[in-house]
Every structure is written in C-alpha cells, then in structure tokens.
Amino acid sequence: MNKTIGIFGGGQLGRMMAQAALPLNIQCTFFEANTDCPAAVLGQVFSTQTQNGLAEFIQSADVFSLEFENTPLADVDVLTQSKAIHPPRQALAIAQNRLSEKTLFNELKIPVAPFKAVDSLESLTQAVAELGLPIVLKTATGGYDGKGQFVLREASQIEQAWAELGPAQSLIAESFVNFSREVSIIAVRGQNGDVKTWPLAENHHHHGILSHSIVPAPHSEDLQPVAQEYITRLLNHLDYVGVLTLELFVTEQGLFANEMAPRVHNSGHWSIEGSVCSQFENHVRAVAGLPLGSTEVIRPTVMVNIIGKHPKSEDVLALNGAHLHLYNKTEREGRKLGHITLMPIHQDDLTDLCRQLARILPEPLALTQDMTI
C-alpha cells in the first residue's frame, strides 16, 4: 500500500505512529510549530507558523489523523473540505471540552462523578453547596498532566480557587471521587466498525504526570468487560475510526469515567513490545482502512516514563527484559523524554526488574525500589 498519512502534531506520539507506519509502506507528514520536532526524522514537517503551511500540509497526504486532542478545530474544518480525518471532528470537539465530555458520558450511561458548570464566583459557591466538599475544579478546556486543576477541600478556598482558574475561562466543578486506583482502557475501531480492545492498564502518577503503567492491571478480571462495554459505546456512538482511550477510576461503586483521549495514549506505549499489534500500528491500520491486528498481550509488562532527566542508556539496556525508547528531546523538568518497557521472559522477575530500574533512574518517580507487582 502506497499511502501517506498527515498527522497534526510532531511530538513523540506522531513519531511512534510514523515508526509503526513504515513497515506497512505508509509514509507520514506532520503539521507542527517546531520543524525540529521528535517526528521530523521520519517525515516532512510543515510549519504552523508559515502562511501556506496548512495548505501545503493538506496537499501532502491522502488521509489525516492527530496526536493531540487540542488540535485547532478551525484547521480540521479547512482540512475536511477536501480530505478525511480520523478520528472524526465530533470526537475531537467533545474531548476538547470537559463539560461536553461528561455530558456525553451521562447520555451513554457511563458513570461519572456529579459535576456542575462554573462561570462565576457565585456559581462556584453554588456548586460547592450542591456537590459538597471536596471538589475538583478544572478548566473546561486545555490543561493536561495535572495542569488547570484545583482541589477545593474547604469553603475558605473558594475565592482562591476562582482567582487561580477563573474568570477568563469556563470551568467545571466535579465531586471528588474516592478511588482505590486509576486504570485506562485503550480500544481501536476500524472503518468497517470492527472493535478491538487491549487489557486495562493500572496507572501511577508522580506530580500529576504518568509515572508508570502495569499491564494487565492486577485484579482486573471483573473490571475488563465493564470497561470494554463503556469504550465500545463511545466508539460506536461517535462512529469513531482509530484508537480511543478512556481513563477510569476504580471505586467501591464500580468504574467511574474520568476523561477520554481521542488518540494513542501514554498508558499504551507498553503495546509496542507487549502486544501482538501495538496501539500505534492498529491506529495506522484503522486510519488507512486496513484490517485490525490482534490486541493480545504477549506477556505482562510495566511501562515506565523517563521524565526530566535521561538515565544512562547503557544502564537501562543492561537490564534483562528492558526496551528503551528515546524521543530526541532535551532535558527539562517535568518533560517526557522517553519510556522504558519492562517485560522479562518470566513474570516472576517483573517486580525485581522494576526495582532494578528504580535504582538507576535519575529522577524519583512513583516507581520505587520497594514496589511489588
């Protein structure tokens, strides 16, 4: 197949999509502000900063996708006058607004925490009265990796919360969910409506940024079919094509949806080595109109993000069962520089391998030297 996929964004997700496309003889181009982006080594980059950049990007490919849910809808609208994009515009628009997202979850009977729209100090005060404390106040648009949020635990914090997040933007107040852990389910839907899902990942965070994911999520046998049902409802309702991610809280009352991401996802990076067909390859297959591949797990894995500082590559590669992925990024606090997938031949060695990796990482993460899997 000789086809070119145009990708809005040229970060590590676009890079890994392009890496998965190459064996299928599919090329990728990118639309990105920084022409020296991580994906630049794998395809032509058209700059968002040039007058004709969007038009040239549209002419560069047969079909289009994205790596970031905050892709400007105005650009997508120009594109769809002549070309197709997967996932669909509707999914992108909903994911860009938390109020729209939670409303859709309610419509599809996917459980969510009670929430209220907030657009003034008075409406925030009313939301506190109706929802009770604690609540999580979030910007309705933008914000990721823990940004754009304020956990409001006492009524005395109302004015501070409003001052920090309002008044220039729409907000959403959500009841605080008492959860035991966070999981995510990733699924892919083809152009023919075929749906495949990967096992639940158990996700651990450090300062609001994903630290590591364990797959399959421990003790998730009863949760898996429920999560699959929820994400399948979303995929079919949106007439979705490509990979979709649904983040979920595990509570005593069952699974509660947190948010969805209309793209390949950090908690699915393990699938490059750990699944028969990775999230990246299956996304490319779906966008290109090809049959989907198996999402079966080869063996249990742990995916660990490299954040802020690089470890010594030789130290990581010396670990038996470690796979290193670097994104060609410079070091910066809180920045995702790469990831490491741990999948030893024997599952019993996984805990020890995680502890070995924790000892050589330069930045402290939720991955610790005394963890047990």
Does residue 300 fall inside a structural domain?
yes
Calpha distance 6→284 (Å, rounded) = 11
Residue 145 has pLDDT above 60, yes or no: no
For strands 3-8 and 63-66, give the pairing. Answer: parallel
Tally the domains of the chain.
3
CA–CA gap between residue 171 and residue 18 (Å, rounded): 36
Return the pLDDT at 370.
79
Average pLDDT over residues 134-159: 86
Domain final residue, candidates 157, 175, 193: 175
- Enclosing domain of residue 276: 181-360
Beta-carbon contacts of 11 under 8 Å, excluding residues fewer than 6 positions away, are 32, 37, 38, 39, 67, 68, 327
Q: Taking residues 249-255, report their average pLDDT.
A: 97
Does residue 192 contact residue 168 with C-beta atoms inside 8 Å?
no
Is a pLDDT exceeding 90 seen at residue 90? yes
**More confident of the two residues 373 and 155:** 155
86 pLDDT higher than 90: yes
Report how far residue 90's alpha carbon sits from residue 73's, in angstroms, rounded to the nearest whole number: 10
Same-domain check for residues 293 and 356: yes
Residue 26 has pLDDT above 60, yes or no: yes
Whether residue 52 sits in one domain with residue 140: no
pLDDT above 90: percentage of residues in the chain: 91
Q: Which of 197-211, 251-265, 317-331, 357-371 has the lowest mean pLDDT?
A: 357-371
96 lies in a domain? no
Q: What single letter denotes the amino acid at residue 316? A: V
Q: How confident is the model at residue 168 (pLDDT cuts 50, 70, 90)?
A: low
Given a contact cutoff of 8 angstroms between Cβ atoms, the answer to whether 188 and 195 are in contact is yes
Task: Please give the pLDDT value at position 157.
Answer: 94
Question: Residues with Cβ < 8 Å from 80, sequence gap 6 or more?
Answer: 89
Q: Is a pLDDT exceeding 70 seen at residue 1?
A: no
Other beta carbons within 10 angstroms of residue 206's beta carbon come to 17
Q: Is residue 99 part of a domain?
A: no
Give CA 56 to chain center in angstroms.
28
Are 215 and 164 in a shared domain? no
Please compute the mean of the pLDDT values over residues 12-20 and round it to a whole number: 98
Q: What is the pLDDT of residue 371?
A: 80
Q: Is the pLDDT of residue 257 over 70?
A: yes
- CA separation for the pair 249, 265 (Å, rounded): 17
- Residue 108 within a domain: no
Q: How far is CA 173 from the centre of its chain?
A: 22
| Lowest-confidence pick of 44-53, 144-153, 313-322, 348-357 | 144-153
Is-cis flag, bond preceding 111, omega within 30?
no
Are 24 and 124 found together in one domain? no
* Nearest-5° Cα angle at 50, 49 to 52: 135
Give 51-64 pLDDT, tens digit per residue: 999 999 999 999 99
pLDDT for 167 beyond 80? no
Arithmetic mean of pLDDT, 197-224: 96
Same domain, 280 and 217: yes
> Where does the pLDDT of residue 199 fall: very low under 50, low under 70, confident under 90, or very high at 90 and above?
very high
Domain boundary among the residues 137, 160, 175 is at 175
Asked, for residue 256, whether it belongs to a domain, the answer is: yes
CATH code of the domain in which 60 resides: 3.40.50.20
- 131: domain CATH number is 3.30.1490.20
Per-residue pLDDT, 366: 84
pTM confidence score: 0.95
Both structure tokens of 129: 């009265």
Both 141 and 20 in a single domain? no
- Is residue 94 situated within a structural domain? no
Q: Which residues sit opposite 171 in a β-bridge?
A: 118, 139
CB atoms inside a 10 Å sphere around CB 137: 24
Report the pLDDT averaged over residues 93-110: 97
Comparing C-alpha atoms, which of 53, 54, 82, 88 is closest to residue 69? 88
- Cβ(88)–Cβ(76) below 8 Å: no
pLDDT for residue 342: 98
Does one domain contain both 30 and 61? Answer: yes
Task: Check residue 369 and give its pLDDT.
Answer: 80
3-state helix, strand, coil in the chain (%, to 5): 35, 30, 40
Q: How far apart are CA 121 and CA 348, in angstroms?
A: 53
Sorting pLDDT into bands at 50, 70 and 90, what band is 363? confident
Residue 146 has pLDDT above 70, yes or no: no
Query: Do residue 152 and residue 290 come from a single domain?
Result: no
Query: Do 195 and 338 reside in the same domain of the chain?
Result: yes
Report the C-alpha gap between 283 and 281 in whole angstroms.
5
Phi/psi at 158 (nearest 5 deg)?
Answer: -60, -50
Are both 187 and 128 inside the same structural domain? no
**pLDDT per residue over 265-303, tens digit each?**
999 999 999 999 999 999 999 999 999 999 999 999 999
- Same domain for 43 and 155? no
Q: Cβ distance 270 to 176 under 8 Å?
A: no
pLDDT at 323: 98
CATH number at residue 306: 3.30.470.20
Question: Would residue 131 count as lying in a domain?
Answer: yes
Clarify whether residues 285 and 321 are in a common domain.
yes
105's torsion region: left (phi>0), alpha (psi -120 to 50) or beta?
A: alpha
Evaluate if residue 98 carries a pLDDT over 80.
yes
Q: Note if the bond before 167 is cis, omega within 30 degrees.
A: yes
pLDDT score recorded for residue 142: 78
In a domain, 139, yes or no: yes
83 vs 242: CA distance, rounded Å: 16
